[in-house]
Amino acid sequence: MQQFDYTISDPMGLHARPAGQLVRQAAAFKSRVTIRRGDREADCTRLLRVMALCAAAGETVTFTVDGEDEQAACEAMRAFCTESL
């Protein structure tokens, strides 16, 4: 299992467009990817749950990646965040 924190810098927060991209990214891996904000957690392949976290700019979210390709998945998710979030 791998974990990393990311602070959202997109001024609009985790809104529909990046959330959609995030879901597509996460779905490309076999590992289970989850995102946590405070005490709420969402499966990263579920757009509605991810959006419902309402993660805003400046907030820190925690990604957890667990599964056979977790190394690659974790790197891809991290790269995606830095690039688009």
Q: Is 15 annotated in the active site?
A: yes
Spot the catalytic one: 15, 32, 36, 46. Answer: 15
Residue 10 lies near another protein (rule: CB under 8 A): yes
Residue 58 lies near another protein (rule: CB under 8 A): no
Residue 78 lies near another protein (rule: CB under 8 A): no
Render the chain in DSSP notation, one character per residue.
-EEEEEE---TT-S-HHHHHHHHHHHHTSSSEEEEEETTEEEETT-HHHHHHT-PPTT-EEEEEEESTTHHHHHHHHHHHHHHH-
Q: Which residue ranges make up the site for another protein (CB under 8 A)? A: 10-13, 15-17, 20, 23-24, 45-49, 51-52, 54, 56, 84
